[in-house]
A and B are shown apart, each in its own frame.
Chain A
Amino acid sequence: MVFRQFFRRNDAVLMSVLVDENTRLLVQGLTGREGGFHTGQAIEYGTKVVAGVTPGKGGTVWKGATGSRNVPVFNTVAEAVETTGANVSVIFVPPAFAADAIMEAADAGLPLVVCITEGIPTFDMIRVKQFLAGSNTRLIGPNCPGIISPGKCKVGIMPGSIHKPGNVGVNDDPETHAMVLIGEIGGSAEEDAAQFIKERVRKPVTGFICGRTAPPGRRMGHAGAIISGGKGTAADKIAALQAAGITVAGSPALIGETMAQLLSHQHEQ
């Protein structure tokens, strides 16, 4: 889940919007199939894509499938940042090389790195986490859809058309009136988030936990989505959210209704 990272840092502060019209995006893996396709979509959405990085293709210009794009390609992230002033990187490189790509982006001083790649070995991510500790780089992902600020900037693989500007978010910002927290089985990020919300958040929060029907001991697609040793069950997470005052929707179809009710109650008060 995208927002897990928001609560992981020791210096957790409620975050403001991460990407907007000032974002200058660099794409690692731009010349690959996925990277090229989603970069085209991002440009059409209005995102400023300033550079691509593909080792060995430095000095070329990426034209895209339509032949109408003009994005300069560099051999290294450091060179791309220095030349173009990129301030966010999105990573589409294959899993075997993704950890290296994240570290390269952090080494170049980028404050925000969004890694879309799925299937990175666990030990690689343990080393990346260690590498990032103490740096100023915030990593979103890996194995995530990315981030979107509706109408402003799209960094990821989500379709732009399904997002509308509004005031319900996964982060805190003066424009945000309420929050939705979506979690799934495995790990303890939802419990950590519940504790954080209990202590720090005064806006209405609706929760949903996916995986009530997941059998124990089986990995449900996502790397961490597994109930192991009786830990990480949906029931435990729902209880933790409820104990923190979060209203939990029983079905994904009820998230919107639940949020609407919370907001109308708040309005009445």
Chain B
Amino acid sequence: MKIHEYQAKQILGRYGVAVPRGEVISRVEEARVAAERLGGGTVVVKAQIHAGGRGKGGGVKLARNSAEAEKVAGDILGMTLVTHQTGPEGRVVRKVLIEEGLDVARELYLGLVIDRAIGRPVFMASTEGGVEIEVVAAQHPEKILKESIDPGVGFQAFQARKLAFGLGLEGVQVTEAVKFFAALYRAFEGTDASLTEINPFVVTRDGRLLALDAKMNFDDNALFRHREIRELRDLDEEDPLEVKASNSGLNYIRLDGNVGCMVNGAGLAMATMDIIQYAGGRPANFLDVGGGASEEQVRKGFEIILGDPNVRAVLINIFGGIMRCDIVANGVVGAAKSLGIKVPVVVRLEGTNVELGQKILRESELNFTVANGMKDAAEKVVSLARH
């Protein structure tokens, strides 16, 4: 799960990570008061959307006084911000963060991720802050310092010192950095984050260390034990069909093709997308309806797939292992009848009672094409999607 910058900064602040003073607003009228509360001097107005590259897209602007802050906030609030991460359709800005302006001397980078290869969290730091870390990793991998963390004892002070000295910090800044890094790790572990990124991590001219930007992503599987984080979910930032699917307990990801897919099991769902492409078509989605594939789940799946206007044909690929194919077929027929489906539907069933399942589909008097095997199913659905 993703959250906004201002939410990440609130969480980090609670763990003792130094962040700039700021206020989040959603109405232009609130901008002037917020800027005045920050001292009435220079402020930064930052669009709050779940995507990077906001600065380049015109979503982060400086204002020298509170009157200017109001004007800038007016420009940004409501704009459709397009960045390299939003796609061409962009995102509507509904909130802006107004923050104290800082006199920045150095821009550094800090990141915490899970390194799957070693099965441990890794703390990364780099002198190359303010730019995309992927670019640094590709061009100057030696400029990324890494400390892997023993999960039994957690992040140690000596590791924090290695990173601090490696970043060229000196004197009292090293002590401050050690505290900052330790707090950042506590926030990462304490919230079951999957990613925490401070880019840039800044040193001000008066020697302070602060998280100028902050990004946190969380492990969805651990949200059950973090109610306060679950409440930060912003549905405006998600695809409406994906939101609807997740509310129905379905795992759906929208893609840009025209062949809708309904499959039981994530691996088979991905393989189904691949075989559609192999047959010359393009999948419209990833959809895992789960192991049971009951009539209710199939109905919800249909509703979501057909909510995408690009879909020209649907492939249902169900492996009835322990779930019997005749039960699955009855579910598909029931759902298709009650929804009055217009697009062609190709069904591939395999497993227990497959003959009976296919018979139910054929005798349903609905527009089903029964396929034999995945290859046949993919070729048939791709052909139907073309017409």
User: A residues near B, CB below 8 A?
Assistant: 1, 37, 41, 95-96, 119-127, 129-130, 157-159, 161-162, 184-188, 210-215, 218, 220-225, 229-230, 250-254
17 residue pairs from A and B, CB less than 8 Å apart: A121-B221, A123-B192, A124-B222, A126-B114, A126-B120, A127-B151, A130-B119, A159-B351, A161-B352, A184-B267, A188-B117, A210-B267, A211-B274, A213-B273, A213-B277, A220-B270, A253-B374
Q: Contact: B286 with A158, CB < 8 Å?
A: no
What is the bound-complex CA distance between A210 and B273, given in angstroms? 9
* Alpha-carbon gap, A218 to B287, bound state (A): 13
Residue with the greatest number of chain B CB neighbours at <10 A, chosen from A95, A96, A123, A214: A123
In the bound complex, residues from chain B placing their C-beta under 8 Å from that of A124 are 222
Contacts of A37 in B (CB 8 A): 322
Q: Are B194 and A250 in contact (CB under 8 A)?
A: no
Chain A binding site: helix, strand, loop or mixed by DSSP? loop
B139 to chain A, nearest CB (A): 13
How close is A147's CB to chain B, nearest CB, in angstroms? Answer: 15
Provide the residues of chain A in CB contact with B274, threshold 8 Å: 210-213, 251-252
Asked whether A159 lies within 8 Å of B225 as measured between CB atoms, the reply is no
Q: Which of B319-363 contact A (CB under 8 A)?
A: 321-322, 351-352
- Point out the residues of chain B lying under 8 angstroms from A254, CB to CB: 375
Is B158 an interface position by the 8 A CB rule?
no
3 closest cross-chain pairs (CB), A and B: A221-B266, A121-B222, A253-B375
| B107 on the A face (CB < 8 A) | no
On whether A159 and B374 interact (CB within 8 A), knowing A122-B114, A184-B267, A252-B274, the answer reads no
Known: A126-B151, A221-B269. A213 touches B321 (CB 8 A): no
Decide: A188 and B251 in contact? CB cutoff 8 A.
no
Interface string of B182-224 (1 = CB under 8 A from A): 0000000100101000000000000000000000000101101
Contact: A252 with B374, CB < 8 Å?
Answer: yes
Chain B interfacial positions (CB closer than 8 Å to A): 114, 116-117, 119-121, 134, 137, 150-152, 189, 192, 194, 219, 221-222, 224-225, 251, 253, 255, 265-267, 269-271, 273-278, 282-283, 286, 288, 321-322, 351-352, 373-375, 378
Q: Name A215's closest neighbour in chain B (CB-CB).
A: B255
Find chain B residues with CB under 8 A from A185 CB.
Answer: 270
In the bound complex, do residue B117 and residue A184 qualify as a contact, i.e. CB atoms below 8 Å apart? no
> Of B116, B120, B221, B283, which one neighbours A119 at CB under 8 angstroms?
B221
Q: Is the CB of B286 within 8 A of A221?
A: yes
CA distance in complex: A158, B89 (Å): 43
- A120 near B221 with CB under 8 A, answer yes
A214-B286, A218-B253 are known contacts. Are A225 and B219 too (CB-CB below 8 A)? no
Decide: A95 and B151 in contact? CB cutoff 8 A. Answer: no
Cβ of A224: which chain B residues have Cβ within 8 Å of it? 116
Output the nearest chain B residue to A232 by Cβ-Cβ distance. B116
Shortest Cβ gap from B119 to chain A (Å): 5
Q: Which residue of B120, B219, B277, B288 is within 8 Å of A212 (Cβ)?
A: B277
**Nearest chain A residue, comparing its CB with the CB of B273:** A213
Q: Are A162 and B271 in contact (CB under 8 A)?
A: no
A51 CA to B145 CA in the complex, in Å?
50
Q: How far is the CB of A257 from chain B (nearest CB, A)?
A: 10
Q: Give the one of B134, B283, B322 with max A CB within 10 A.
A: B322
Q: Is the CB of A162 within 8 A of B321?
A: yes
Which residues of the other chain, B, contact A211 by a CB distance below 8 angstroms? 270, 273-274
